[in-house]
Chains A and B, each alone.
Chain A
Amino acid sequence: MIEILKVIFSNLKFIVISVIIFLIMMFSLLLISEFIFLEPYFVTHIPSGSELGFILITALSGLSALVISMNLFRIINLKNSKHKMSGSIFGTFIGSAAGACSCGPIGFAVISTFGTVGATTTAFLTNYEIPIRIVAIVILIITYFTTIKSLKTECDIPN
């Protein structure tokens, strides 16, 4: 496993890609989950009772950065199928959507635009925010291991 990660991240391009994905994901999710505020001042804070949410966002961002860059490596260098990429994008997307739809601006926009359907969706995503994020993390972990397994075969790396 370590050998494969060394192969991928020996290329500076993939380190940069994963760092950028991590920072964008982390910043966006912290912003929409109201751990970061930009107005009237830039301020960060973790309210008591929200610690688990913060940890899950960090895990989700880290795994997304890792899995997406590994799959980009497969697609760019090995010209392989994009099948596993969809697993990582799906995991990232549902994990992000869970926290977005709450009483903040995104939830308000969804409810204003889609009415009752929007309100039901928002309520579901808010009520099950933590379980949905955990499911997203599980999907990303599964995608990570299947990607490692594929790369072992494709790159012909001994165990």
Chain B
Amino acid sequence: MNKKGAILGIIVISIIVGVVASMSSSTNETFDVDMTRTHGSISTAMGSPILGDPLAPVTIVEFGDYQCHQCHNWFVNTKPMIMRDYIETGKVNLVFVDFAFLGRDSPKAAQATYCADDQNKYWEYHSSLYTSQESKIDNGWASSERLKAFAFNLNLDMELFNECLDSEKYSKRVQYNSQQARDNGVRGTPGFFIVDSDYNQTQIGGAQPFSVFQKILDSMI
């Protein structure tokens, strides 16, 4: 009887500990997002803020990893022309959704961007990661210390940023985004979906040149 009581007690305590732990983890991860935001078949609710005019008729959804050198190639070679000709003119907007699969520092780097977003510096931080990217995966360029250094360089409130990054506040958000990539058939980074207001969408795989984007965007606008 005593044995049974002890086992029952352990089970009850385990359940209570489990419930308390899950409650504390969910309170850790409350953040302000529009869960209804979708672009075509993709839920972009947990993705980046919209870059450009939110009412633009066409959206580019980019799936990327901060350690992916092809994403860096696209960021350097193609994105500036898309910014100039389509985003800054209000024809197109862009949403970045994390597909953090390349190395152990990839999810942490993605989480850091949302910690920067808490202080309204998402895109500045996003750009600083791609401009600071080093060619080697997991060599320490995106370690926690370096991620904090990037935040410091952008004059973010370091107490808030460090607390956010160290607590892994946005861990589930990044996982959700990576799952969106898998669910939508993305098989590598960068991967793009160009979605118009009628929910027609075209997929582009890889760091393709500006001419490809130009052709598709012009046909949709």
Chain A residues within CB distance 8 Å of chain B: 34, 37, 39-41, 43, 45, 47-50, 102-105, 107-109, 111-112, 119, 122-123, 126-127
Contacts and interface: CB of A to CB of B under 8 A. Distances in A.
B206 A37 contact: yes
B40 interface: no
Main secondary structure of the interface of B (DSSP, over half): loop
A104 B70 CA distance: 8
13 contacts: A37-B212, A39-B204, A40-B212, A48-B76, A102-B68, A103-B68, A103-B102, A104-B188, A108-B188, A109-B187, A119-B101, A119-B102, A122-B137
Given A103-B71, A105-B188, A119-B103, A127 B136 contact: yes
Given A102-B68, A103-B68, 12 more contacts: A40-B202, A40-B204, A40-B212, A40-B216, A49-B73, A49-B76, A103-B67, A108-B189, A111-B101, A112-B101, A123-B136, A123-B137
A108 B70 CA distance: 13
B103 to A, nearest CB: 6
Contacts of A45: 208-209
B150 to A, nearest CB: 21
Interface of B: 65, 67-71, 73, 76-77, 101-104, 135-139, 187-190, 202-209, 211-212, 215-216
Contacts of A122: 102, 137
B208 A102 contact: no
Contact of A103 (B70, B76, B208): B70
B212 A43 contact: yes
Contacts of B187: 105, 108-109
A39 B137 CA distance: 27
B104 to A, nearest CB: 8
Given A41-B212, A103-B102, A119-B103, A34 B70 contact: yes
A48 B70 contact: no
Contacts of A49: 73, 76
B215 to A, nearest CB: 7
Nearest to B67: A103
A91 to B, nearest CB: 24
Contacts of B209: 43, 45, 47
Contacts of A127: 135-137, 139
A43 B208 contact: yes
